[in-house]
Chain A
């Protein structure tokens, strides 16, 4: 996930810098791959087979919707429908994962489980961004200044997400040690 995020940022920056062209399509495509990777993560860690089926169905629905959105939306704008649906899917999956973690009680101390930190990070990030994504298109059209001001939330949530992922990495290291 982290490697993919770096790669996306780097590619979009280089593309815009070198070709002096719109790089939005890279970000729109990256949403699909990002969701795919997160769903793969949840598919691996969730034990309940019904939840696994929900993940596959949600992913299938999301890919169709996102491809349709890439085709429909103009090249110059981000697909906020895809981003909103992605946020809803990940929020639901993270809550299901918490349910799965509590029901199966694999960890004696949940705070030392890397999965808990990654899942918490996703829950905070995507639930926080949900409203932002939902109103982004409207804000960009009618109040662009307000949009850029509110986008600060996205950056803060990004910091929180990667902080939580870092804690997860640290916990993996300590649990192995």
Chain B
């Protein structure tokens, strides 16, 4: 073989080796670059998730503050004036008694005022923690609520409760209260926006998950729409609903069909 040929073969192989090495180096650099990029992306996703959590936490705190404000307003605007009037009446009765002009019939108004004050206090207490819930538990309270709704709003509603009492004992009072508030928020939203006339609620447990389902004949939403509503909502209702669901580790699934729609609340529990 000629020297010229040998030199060109040598050059060719050398260039080939260098190109292969260059490609291998590019692969290695790409791996490093891509991994860095992936880490940055992950960190960004984590940050967004954290911001969402903070947003939800803020919503739940604000909801609590609003609740307190509402209670304060109830006490100040409704019960306080009643009691003030009652105090004035009592002073008036004392003067009347001194003058011997007191008539027992005038106590009827006082009694009515007292009744109103008692009712107001009861409503406020129910807003704080529903006494029925403390006494009879979540599902009975929901049954009671549904019964009231039927009477007041004229919606045909039924509640099919298949949860054994011992299964409900796996949830403490705070969890039951959270579930109650979630259910109430769902029902309020249903009555406000879905224009439903029929509502069927079912509750059952399966594989350590308590499921409460709301099936109605109104306008439904799906999960994507609900996420969008929650994101864009300026009110606290939907955000506090999501926050409570997060606290309970619960899942809320929204489905809609042509004639009906359903909302399924699933709350896991452990027997420990």
A101, B1: Cβ atoms under 8 Å? no
A127, B24: Cβ atoms under 8 Å? yes
A142, B17: Cβ atoms under 8 Å? no
B32, A111: Cβ atoms under 8 Å? yes
* A149: contacting residue among B10, B17, B24, B31, CB under 8 A: B10
Q: Contact mask B24-45 → A, CB, 8 Å, 1/0?
A: 1101100110110011001000
* A123: contacting residue among B17, B24, B32, B38, CB under 8 A: B24
A128, B20: Cβ atoms under 8 Å? yes
B6, A143: Cβ atoms under 8 Å? yes
A153-B17 CB under 8 A given contacts A139-B9, A145-B6, A146-B10:
yes
Q: What size tier do the contact residues of chain B reach?
A: 20 to 34
* Distance between B23 CB and nearest chain A CB, rounded to angstroms: 7
User: Cβ of B9: which chain A residues have Cβ within 8 Å of it?
Assistant: 135, 139, 143, 146
Q: How many A-B residue pairs have CB under 8 A?
A: 66
A102-B35 CB under 8 A given contacts A123-B28, A146-B6, A150-B10:
yes
A124-B13 CB under 8 A given contacts A110-B35, A111-B32, A142-B1:
no
A102, B34: Cβ atoms under 8 Å? yes
* A128: contacting residue among B24, B34, B42, CB under 8 A: B24
A157, B25: Cα distance in complex, Å: 13
B17, A128: Cβ atoms under 8 Å? yes
User: Cβ of B34: which chain A residues have Cβ within 8 Å of it?
Assistant: 102
Q: What size tier do the contact residues of chain A reach?
A: 20 to 34
A153, B13: Cα distance in complex, Å: 10
Q: Contact mask A129-145 → B, CB, 8 Å, 1/0?
A: 01110010001001101
Main secondary structure of the interface of B (DSSP, over half): helix
* Distance between A120 CB and nearest chain B CB, rounded to angstroms: 5
User: Cβ of B23: which chain A residues have Cβ within 8 Å of it?
Assistant: 127
A132, B20: Cα distance in complex, Å: 11
Tell me if A95 counts as interface (CB < 8 A to partner B).
yes
B31, A98: Cβ atoms under 8 Å? yes
A128-B10 CB under 8 A given contacts A98-B31, A105-B38, A110-B31:
no
Tell me if B14 counts as interface (CB < 8 A to partner A).
yes
* Distance between A89 CB and nearest chain B CB, rounded to angstroms: 15
A150, B13: Cβ atoms under 8 Å? yes
B1, A132: Cβ atoms under 8 Å? no
* Distance between A142 CB and nearest chain B CB, rounded to angstroms: 5
A127, B23: Cα distance in complex, Å: 9
Q: Contact mask B153-179 → A, CB, 8 Å, 1/0?
A: 000000000000000000000000000
Name 14 interchain pairs, CB-CB below 8 A, sorted by A: A98-B31, A105-B35, A105-B38, A120-B28, A123-B24, A123-B28, A124-B21, A128-B24, A131-B16, A132-B17, A142-B1, A149-B10, A150-B14, A150-B17
Supplied contacts A91-B24, A143-B10, 7 more A-B pairs, CB within 8 Å: A102-B34, A110-B31, A124-B24, A131-B16, A139-B9, A145-B6, A150-B14
